Structures are given as structure tokens and as C-alpha cells.
Chains A and B, each alone.
Chain A
Amino acid sequence: MSVFEGVNWLQLLVTAIAMGCIYSLIATEYTLIYNATGLVNFAHESFIVLGAYIFAGTFERALQFPHWLAILLTLVSMACFGVLVASTILNPLRNLQFVTYAMFGTMMLSRIIIEICRLSWGSLPFTVKGFLRESINIGSTVLSESYIYIIIISVIVIALLQAFFKFTKAGKAMICVSQNKDAAALMGINVSASINLTVAISAVICGIVGILCAPLYNVSSNMVTSAATKGFCAGVIGGFGSYPGAIIGGILIGLIEQFGIIFIPSVWKDALSFGLMIIFLLIRPGGIIKRKKA
């Protein structure tokens, strides 16, 4: 029997799109901060982990709030955290003479957040029992509830983000800041406040990713290490700094890694994403959608 005969392609497709959505959200979050500050935020994995811990560790397990309230309070907490990080760390860091130093600063911030999580919520991985862990049968295909929610929520988040940029004054200001900070300041835009807002939105997206990943990976300090790296790859492949590029890059990686390992040994799954990123860097460094320069 050929290996391909027994494969449930629909199941793989749904999984690929769901995982692609996670990568897209992570890439979008990278893009937001990169556009706002010119920095690649290497602490974003820890932002996601923090969101997951606040949701699962505090509001779900410790306080036993209903899911909707736990989600709401997590997102509010993450927004506040984002403003705090932006005003105390990212805003000062972006003015450093060497960007490399600033990026190392975000790496160190990541380590600190991870250790705070471990010390605050303990070192044992845990999960939220019963949260997005059901399955839905469609014929011979069994679809995970978490994958379906990931796809739906990702589409909503991306649509809301696009609407925010297009129809709100704050969103347009963020676009201006991302294109040229000096010009934006001359036009009367409060650049620091705009960056604070951007990082707050970015932290909220991290919170959403953390909540969505909790049933998928369980909550631990390294729960999204692999996904965070692939999110970065998605940003590079799609075109760093481009929002549509982040989405395309994420979905592409999801599809390639799920379908790719049907044809090659499974152990090469991660190498597919990273190999693709290197190919893009060599052949088309600007990514699929090159970011327009101001």
C-alpha cells in the first residue's frame, strides 16, 4: 500500500492552516514592533509565554474565573504589560547607537520574563483541562476544536488589525511612525505614545497566541520555542515589515511543513521551514511581498 493512500489530506490541510495561522500571528507581532521601533523583538516568545501563564495559571487555575472573563482579563493585563515594556525598555532601547545592543537587550528581557514566569507559576508544565480540547468528527476526519478556533480567531484578529490601520486615527499614526519617525513627529504625532500603543497591541496579540497555544502545547516556559522561531521565518519569507507578507509567510510554512513530511522523513519538519527561509534570504531577501520604503 502506498503511504499516500492512507493519508487523510483534509485533516492535514486543517492542521496546516491552523499552524500557519499561529505562525502568521507571531509574524504579525514581530512586524508590529519592528515597524514601530526598528527593533526585532526577540522577547516576543516570552510575551506569549507570559500571556499563557497569566491566562492559565492565574485566571483559570488559581482564581477559577469563567473562560470569557479569564480571556478578557488576560488581554487587558497584556496590554498594560505592553505599555510598561514599551515605555521603560523598548522606547529607550531604540535610541541606542547600535541596534545590535538593543536586540540583545530584548533577548535578556526574554530570559528575565521566562524566569519570572517559572518562579511565579512553578516549573511544572500544566494545562487548562477541558479548554478547547474536544474533537469534531466530519466523516472519517476528526478535527480538533483548538484548530478550528485558531483559524477563526486569527482571521478576526488580522481583519480587526487591518481595519484599525485603515480607519482609525491612531492606526494611521502608527503607519506614519513606521514609515518615518522624524516626519511623523514633525506632523505632530506623539511618536513615543504611538510606539506604546503599538507594543500594547503586540502584547495583546501575544496574549491571544498564548491562550490559543495553551491547549495545543500546554503551558510551560518553552511552550512556543519552535512556533516562535517559525513565526520569525514566516516574517522573513513573507517580507519583513509587511503585514500581508507575515500572513502569507505563516500559512506557507504551515502548509509546507505539514505536507512536506509526507514525502520526507518526519525529523526534517523543522528543517523545511528554516531551509525555506535561507532560500528566500539568498534568492529573494525582501521576501514574497517587499516592504515599501518611505
Chain B
Amino acid sequence: MKKFLLMLLAAMMIFTLTACNKGGGEGGGDATEGDPIVFGLTTTVTGDQAAGGEQATNGATLAINEVNEAGGLLLSDGLYHKIVLKIEDDQGDKAMCDTTVRRLVEQEGAVVILGPYFSGQTIALDETMRELGVALINSATNVGIDDLKNPYLWHNRCDDGLNGVILGKAVVDEYVARNGSADGLKVGVICGNDDTGTGAAQVYENYFTEHGVDFYRDEHDTTVDDLTAYIQKAIAAGCNAWVSSCHDKGAVAIAKAMYEQGLRDQIVFMNPILAQTNVLEMMEPEWVEGWACVADYSASDKSNPLAVEFTKKWNEAYTVTPDVQGALYYCHAKLAMKAIEDAGSADPQAIAEAIGKISGYESIIGTVYADEYTNLIYGIGITYIRNLVPTMEASVSMVSSQEEVKDVAKYH
């Protein structure tokens, strides 16, 4: 009898423990957890720009993990939905990107796409995204994207049009600050010959022409590494201040060629590439001391609490240093999750519409205001390079409210 009672007691304890475990763990999850929501990331996992792809993957993963660890996104069905990130390698190729995006949406069930890396790829996806009816958020900066007026293509970064205006003004202001007036100023506009470079060069040209500033414009092949003759021509043309928009190798080649040809203590303003860790690691400190660029994010920035918090989380999660791409894709994922919460649904169309209504959302790269041109960000920091460390010394915002968004339309 005693033995029977003991066995009964043990059975009851096991039953109770199992029930408790179910109530506090899986059973509770089943009651409140909905189907996972799939995000698709198309990026450069392999190939020449794989470093940027690694940053994008890490940034998006970090943002998603934050939400998943907190239980997921609460939608209008009253359930918490965790996010699953599916990644496809497009190798930076336009045609490949079309395939990866279709695979992510049609086979993996992605309700929003993060990426691709390049503006050219983004423009090539115009028809595809309209056909799929899924929103895409990325860091493309080409002003040509605005012309598409595609309600599914959202670029969450200050575009080349605004960057060009900010940089054009900055180079003139710096020259005036050093020399007392703009007399004698001749700006060398040195850009790559791809969509990023030529688009930006045209913006610079428009800005300088409009403001009566003398300039010299030349473009280089983005695969060219030696720019000696190129800089020689600019020197011969009388340039004494510089603006540039190019990619990583171009930035290094320009800095090296200028230094080797004795151009020291120059006024140089560049696109955000200059502040990227991998670019600065390829340079010697004296090449770019005092140069400046626009930058969405800097790991050394202590002025923006959101950026500081992001850097801390990143450093706890990864061994590689965060750079602009990592920060941007962290923001893209955050923005997509905000849109889902706002929509209260994981329906792709509802998400796309919710992105278009975002206004005044604070992210680590600035305040987000959606507009009819599918831009989301209108501000950027001015960063100076001091001993190869990007130091955010100022920030420029073209708008401070949703109403002002219309005023900057002329730059698009």
C-alpha cells in the first residue's frame, strides 16, 4: 500500500511538473505566438562587395534578434510573431538580384525585402517589385530612383541629390572660412563613372553652376586604381578644393594620388564611403587628415544616444567593427518591423502602405519622414577624419517636420 501511494505521489508530481512546464513555456507560447514573419535580405554574400553584405546581414540580424528576444511583434490578431530572416546572395548583379528577390518572395514567403546593395540593382527591380507587390527598403542613393515613383521602393538614406547639395555647400563654406571669401575658388569634382558617381557629379555641377562657383569636372573608371594622371589634370586645371563621390577603391586611389602629388592640407569633402572602416584601414593617416564626408553613422560617434546603444549591442554580438552599412541595415529592419506593427498585419500591401505613412520616427541615422518620392531620410552628419578616426562634428537636416518634406523635392 505504501509502495502504491509512493508511486501515485511520484506520478502526480511528474504530471504537475509537466503541466507547469507546458503552462510557463511551450504551452504559453502556443497560446500567444503566431506564425513567424519572413524578411528577405538580398545582398552581396560573395564577390567583390561581400564585406558590405556581411555588414548588412549582421545589422539586419541584430535588429531582428532584439525583437525576437522580446517575444516578437504583436499584431492585430493578438499574437506575437517572431521574425525569420532569409538571406540570398545576389553578388551585386542586377539579373541575379531579380532572381533572388523572386525566390525570397515566392518561395520563402518574404513580406518585405531588405537590400539590394547597389542603386543600379534597385532601379532594375522597378517592375519586379510592382509585380510582386512587396515593399523593399535599402540604402540606394541614386536620385533616379525618385523618378520611378514606385510605391514599393523605399530608400532609407539621404540620397545623392541631398548629399550633393550638402557637400557642395560645405566645400564653399570651408573655403570661405579659410580665405575670407570665395574669390579664386575652383572646385575639383572628382567622381567615379558609375551610376553613383555620375549622378552625384551632375548634382555638384548643378549646384556650383547655380551658385556661380568655378569648377572642373572629371570622371574615372571605377576599376582604375592609379589616378596619378587624373589628379595631374585637375591640378593643371587649377583646382584648390575638392568634392568627390565614389566607391571604396576610388576613395583610396584618390587619397593616395593626391598625397603622392604633394596636395596636403586640402579642402576635401566626400560621400559617406570615406568614413567606412574598411576604406580608412587601407589608408595612411596623413593621406586624409582633415578630410570630411557626409556620414550616416560613425562607430566613434558619442553624440547620438541611439548610435551609441547600437554600437554597444553590435560589439557584444560581433567581432567585426560596425560601419555605415551595418547601421543602415539595422535601421532598415527596424523600420520594416515598425511598419508591420503600425499596420497590425504582415500583409505585404499593408506593410508597403504603412511605410509610406511613417513620419517623425527616430532611428540611429536620422528622423524618418516618408514622401511621395519614396525617400525616408533627409539628414546626415558631417564627419571629419582625424588620425583615421571619423569624428562626427556636425549634422545637417533638410527637414524637421513632415510639411517641410515637400520643400526639398527640387533636389530629387
Query: Could you tell me which A residues sit within 8 Å of B by CB distance?
Result: 1, 3-8, 11-12, 15, 19, 115, 118, 122-127, 129-130, 133, 135, 137, 140, 142-144, 216-218, 220-223, 225-227, 257-259, 261-262, 265-267, 269-270
Contacts and interface: CB of A to CB of B under 8 A. Distances in A.
Interface class of chain B by DSSP = mixed
Contact of B282 (A127, A142, A267): A127
Contacts of A222: 48, 223
B217 to A, nearest CB: 10
Contact of B225 (A1, A5, A122, A216): A216
A226 B46 contact: no
A265 B218 contact: yes
Nearest to B278: A124
Contacts of A225: 223
B230 A218 contact: no
Contacts, number: 115
Interface size class of B (residues with CB under 8 A): 35 or more
A149 B177 CA distance: 41
B228 interface: yes
Interface of B: 46, 48, 50-51, 53-54, 193, 218-221, 223-226, 228-230, 232-233, 235-238, 248-249, 252, 259-262, 278, 281-284, 320
Given A12-B228, A144-B260, A218-B282, A269 B220 contact: yes
17 contacts: A1-B236, A3-B236, A3-B237, A6-B232, A7-B236, A11-B228, A123-B53, A124-B281, A216-B225, A223-B225, A226-B224, A258-B229, A265-B218, A266-B219, A266-B233, A267-B219, A269-B221
Given A6-B238, A218-B249, A222-B48, A262 B232 contact: yes
A142 B232 CA distance: 12
Given A125-B282, A142-B260, A15 B48 contact: no
Contacts of B262: 137, 140, 142
Given A6-B238, A144-B260, A15 B228 contact: yes
Given A11-B261, A133-B284, A221-B48, 14 more contacts: A3-B233, A8-B235, A8-B261, A15-B226, A115-B46, A125-B249, A127-B282, A220-B249, A223-B225, A261-B230, A266-B219, A266-B229, A266-B230, A267-B221
A270 B223 contact: yes
A7 B249 CA distance: 24
Given A3-B237, A267-B193, A142 B278 contact: no
A125 B220 contact: no
